[in-house]
Structure 1
Amino acid sequence: MTAALPLALAAPALVSAAPAGELALVQTHLQSVSSMTASFSQTDRLDRTVTGTMTLKRPGKIRFQYQKGVPQLIVADGSSLYFVDYQVKQVQRWPIGNSPLAVLLNPKRDITKFAKSLPTRDPRVLSIEVHDPAHPEYGRITMIFHRNAAAPGGLMLQGWVALDSQNNRTQIRLSNQKFNVAVADGAFRWADPRRGGRP
């Protein structure tokens, strides 16, 4: 686990107009999803991989619970996104709106204003990039969707790639995706290590 993922979770700004068709499909998918659970694997620039579970509830809530032995947590509670490191007892915070993951968290957000579609070799795959060219220090995030008629809006989120300002790459791959399942708000509570809390 590295800080590359949270470093890439910075504020996107407007980018040049993207092809509306694919972005419209992604928009339809996102608006069709009220909750989601999935397993994930995260691979950093040194090819180290950790796994865990992701839980999403819109609007504004997401949790990345890492495998046993990884003393870190990424969680959004509806207003803020937190990167929690229990080993060093530190917490970093970002407003949810300042993260490209706001694409997943805000069902009302118009992604055509801050995202663009990238070409892919496979017509079944859609690649959507969020990037602020005026602030390269924020990095970029590219989300990968696969066309799937059984999924909401006909798309399945497969994962994303985050690049920080030093081009450190972190890749998230999702599996066992389940959409619109019951998720309790309590799933997004977390223990603050600065107050003695443990994962």
Structure 2
Amino acid sequence: MTLFRIALAPALFVLSLAAPAAAEKLSLDQLSNYLNTLGTVTADFVQTNDDGSRSKGVLTIKRPGRMRLEYETSKDLVLTSGGQVGVFDAGSNEPPQRFPLSKTPLNLILKNNVNLSQARMVVSHTEQNGDTIVRAQDPAHPEYGSIDLIFSDTPVLKAWVVHDDTGGSTTVQLTKMRLGGKVSDGQFNIHAEANRRGTPLD
């Protein structure tokens, strides 16, 4: 499903901001520490799919394990909580598609303790135009796909690209990131959302 090639994400996304030629990539420990300091995050996003189609929306992350991708125009929705991912298609009367978060590359940044230095997790670690780009995968299950994480030199997570197990890629660019604040756990509840839409889970 294009909605959750993610979104969860064709060429690698690179922001065009100029950077010093001598810029150095951030270390994996620096990036792990940054990700582990993120609690609640809200940001605007633009998603670009394999076919070139684009969609906008609002992303909310509440680590560990919770994420909400709310699409602006279509009213489609992706929720992550309780170790599950639920994909809601606003044009369907069917219950959401569900699958384990552990089988998606985004699990690597949503889990409680991110350790990019773990053996065989990082496939590549480069610097480009002042940004640090890390490609990571589940060391035990590389067949689940991989994720490119793009960080500014601050660091700030600017974008990700998910390469799924079918060979597809989806890019999510983040802007206007806001940190902190209170977000109810109910915003991520797959069962409650399914009931609200009249498509209860079995």
TM-score, normalised to structure 2's length? 0.75
Query: Aligned residue for 1:77?
Result: 81
Show CA shifts across 1:144-190 (max 9, x none).
11122xxxxxx111111122345332111000001122222122134
Spell out the pairing of 1:144-155 with structure 2 (5 A cutoff).
Answer: 144-148=150-154, 155=155
Spell out the pairing of 1:98-177 with structure 2 (5 A cutoff).
Answer: 98-113=103-118, 114-122=121-129, 124-131=130-137, 137-148=143-154, 155-177=155-177
Query: Aligned residue for 1:18?
Result: none
Query: Aligned residue for 2:23?
Result: none
Q: Structure 1 residues 7 and 58 mapped into 2: Cα distance closer, same or farther (>3 Å)?
A: closer
Kindly provide the amino acid, as one letter, of the partner of residue 128 in structure 2. Answer: R
CA distance in 1, matches of 2:174, 2:146: 19
Show CA shifts across 1:40-88 (max 9, x none).
00011221110000001111111000013x2421111233222222323
Show CA shifts across 1:92-119 (max 9, x none).
2233333321232223232322234422
Spell out the pairing of 1:16-95 with structure 2 (5 A cutoff).
Answer: 22-68=27-73, 70-88=74-92, 89-95=94-100
8 Å CA contact retained: 1:40, 1:51: yes
8 Å CA contact retained: 2:147, 2:163: yes
Kindly provide the amino acid, as one letter, of the partner of residue 50 in structure 1. Answer: S
Kindly provide the amino acid, as one letter, of the partner of residue 98 in structure 1. Answer: K
Q: Structure 1 residues 87 and 137 mapped into 2: Cα distance closer, same or farther (>3 Å)?
A: farther
CA distance in 1, matches of 2:166, 2:112: 31
8 Å CA contact retained: 1:90, 1:194: no
Classify the secondary structure of the residue corresponding to 1:119: strand
Shift of 1:133: 8.2
Show CA shifts across 1:7-65 (max 9, x none).
978xxxxxxxxxxx621111110111111000000011221110000001111111000
Classify the secondary structure of the residue corresponding to 2:2: coil
CA distance in 2, matches of 1:37, 1:7: 15
RMSD over aligned Cα atoms: 2.9
Count of matched residue pairs: 179
Q: Structure 1 residues 41 and 106 mapped into 2: Cα distance closer, same or farther (>3 Å)?
A: same
Structure 1 unaligned segments of length 5 or more: list them.
10-20, 149-154
Q: Structure 1 residues 171 and 24 mapped into 2: Cα distance closer, same or farther (>3 Å)?
A: same
Q: Structure 1 residues 45 and 6 mapped into 2: Cα distance closer, same or farther (>3 Å)?
A: closer
Q: Structure 1 residues 99 and 46 mapped into 2: Cα distance closer, same or farther (>3 Å)?
A: closer
CA distance in 1, matches of 2:110, 2:145: 19
